[in-house]
Amino acid sequence: MGSGSSVNSQAKSDTVDESAALQRLAKLVIQGDFGQVRQLAMRRLVKSKDGSGRTVLMLVADTRGTPLQAEKCILYLFELGADPKASDAEGNTAAHLAARRDHVRVLALLPFEAKWLQNERGRTPLMEAVLFGSWKCAKHLLHLLRQERFIDEYRGVSTARQLGRFLKASYTGDMSRNPMRQKFFGMKDQNGQTALELAKFKGYSELASYIEREMRLDVVAIGLINGLTKQEEADREKLECLAREGNVATLLRLVTRANCDLPSRAGHTMLMHLVRSVEIENASVWKQLLNLADPTCADINANTCVHHAAEAGNDSAIVALLNAGAAANATKDNGETPLIAAASNTPIRRAFLTGWFLLAGGADWSLKDSRGCTAYEIALEYDKEDLTDLLQPYQSKKFFDETPNLPSPERAEFPEVQPSTGSQSGATTRQTNWSEEEFYPVTNPQGFCIIINIGKYEELKHKEGGTAIIDPEIREGSAKDVQLVRQVFEELRFIVKVREDLKTQEIDDYLNDVKRSEELNKHGSFVCFLMAHGSHDCIYGADWVPYPIDRIVDKFQSYFCQALSRKPKIFFIQACRTNTLAAARSTIRSDRVPAMGQGQTRSTQEAGESSVTFDAAALAPLRNRDLCPAEGDFLRCFASTPGSVAIRDTHRGSPFVQILCRFMQQHYKVHDVSHIMTK
């Protein structure tokens, strides 16, 4: 008897230990901690159940949501043999539980056949989504039935004659509605109610109308969806037009939960057109759109929104979609994943970043399309060298044995894509262990940018041997710099203010007005461009009075400007830092006003000749003080090193400003300013 009691105690102890292990594993999956999941998960554990009959997959499904890093963790559970059709004591599968919680990420990763099982009450996941008002999961399930691969009629078409008859029937409307769609829409619970009837019973009129419209649609092969009313078609065309134009403001006013996913005949939605047409960096805009639209939606050929974004090289859309629950490894009819689609269709100049974001979001580099080709092999085929270099290190490695050690970019401008725990070892868009304090807040407008350009100087009079010399000075080409800086920073959502040809006292007065402005409280950063003649560590106002750069910068220290405390303050200085001039030859000449007593005058430029000039003016040199700022959050970027001149082309502007702006346009999404300045 004692022996039997000992055995029972041991069995109970084992059960408790296993249940605790299940709970711990589920927690790690929910956090998206793949490194820890891989250490703890075992085949026996992922197949076992707790006291309520739930597997780890079901425990994960029964939560409000997971970060994008959880996708790889969930796929690893499947790799170890997790059964997506397993049910608890009430017959609920992971799909039922996810539908109740509106946990679209888990639901999207389950196989199609596991999404239509009935529990003990006869309810499907769609019915559960309806009863709990889970719009995201309801839309996901309804939109699955728009895809061609789920159409029974087309599977029987094998000859050209059959295809011709089939197409004629589909165009003329002689074909009956798709039986598979009818089957799923017609499923009833134990009380004899369909999903539509349950929606009406619960008083969810908007959701009931949405289901009725999906039931009304005819989905036939070769990319055809019919059944929208004239008003619905007009609404769809209007939203598509706005999305193609990138008119986001108007789109946000018109889009609703009911109209945002209206399909074209090919199954394309507003969101698919939007991610192909415009990049949206504002996280709040994405949040508003993806609270309404289905991020998992696919067209009739199973091209998901992520596929469309990847083909367009729209990195911000990829990140937003993955954060909203879309799958990084969804496959099209031909087996293409978004990563494979990027390898074949993304423009070459954007392929690297698109691949980087997909890998960071959990894309499986080892998956193959219907031809048996991986993303790496396709990138080779299309001569996308940067993407090939990115993927090459993983060709001999298994997806679940590795966590991508991605190269630069080191930091992405999408705060939503973050590890959930400090021990996160899965792919993320941050590749360094930076603390949250090292990231500045994102605001809209993003920041305040001022441009002070001294393009025209007063006549400088001095005497040489008793003779007066008049030497007016114009910094030709500086207008090109101003124009480009304004364009780039307005694109980056900065408020840009330009002041030109100010005397030194006027510069000082203007900077004092700026530092006292309450408007700075609304901005997350401050940028100042100083374009002028210079000497050592000063610039010159239009009246040739020197203004120390240190004094300019000091005005914006936190002690004097609280509105910019703990915000980045960046100064770009296009000015020489010397009072000596290198020998000027050929088309390179000096446009500086000579030092007093030197008696040098400007040379004449031949008409039409493009010449390079120096932003130099040598008056009394100023001692170079310590350039390290007294407080943090400052960055100074000079066009030249101490003792050197700053080049400016009279037709094209200064190389420093032009290259800086070009690099910011190309890399602002993934590099911080300090990295761009040293790239």
What is the C-alpha end-to-end distance of the chain, expressed in Å?
A: 77
Q: Which of 21-30, 389-398, 544-553, 662-671 has the lowest mean pLDDT?
A: 662-671
pLDDT at 620: 35
- CA 667 from centroid of its chain's CA atoms: 13
Helix, strand, coil abundance in the chain, percent, nearest 5: 45, 10, 45
How far is it, in rounded angstroms, from Cα 470 to Cα 458?
Answer: 10
Q: What is the pLDDT of residues 228-274, one digit of tens each?
A: 999 999 999 999 999 999 899 999 999 999 999 999 999 999 999 99
CA separation, residue 486 to residues 106, 446, 483, 650, 668 (Å)? 45, 14, 5, 19, 16
Q: What mean pLDDT is reported for the chain?
A: 81
Pick the CATH number of 447-600+609-677 from 3.40.50.1460, 3.40.50.720, 1.10.10.10, 3.10.300.10: 3.40.50.1460
CA angle 44, 45, 50 (to 5 degrees): 125
pLDDT at 578: 74
Domain boundaries, the chain: 447-600+609-677
pLDDT at 628: 37
Q: Which pair of structure tokens corresponds to residue 431? A: 């590749």
* Confidence band, pLDDT 50/70/90 cuts, at residue 670: low
CA separation, residue 663 to residues 178, 339, 485, 639, 659 (Å)? 53, 25, 12, 15, 6
How far is it, in rounded angstroms, from Cα 556 to Cα 401?
Answer: 50
Q: What is the pLDDT of residues 332-384, one digit of tens each?
A: 989 999 999 999 999 988 999 999 999 999 999 999 999 999 999 999 999 99
- Please check the confidence at residue 158 and state whether its pLDDT lies above 70: no
User: Could you tell me the pTM of the whole model?
Assistant: 0.60
Residue 324 DSSP SS3: coil
Residue 614 pairs in a beta bridge with: 647
Q: What is the pLDDT of residues 97-131, one digit of tens each?
A: 999 999 999 999 999 999 999 999 999 999 999 99
Query: Which of 113, 114, 141 lies closest to 127, judged by CA?
Result: 141
DSSP assignments along 212-224, one per residue: HHHHH-EEETTTE
* Confidence band, pLDDT 50/70/90 cuts, at residue 219: confident
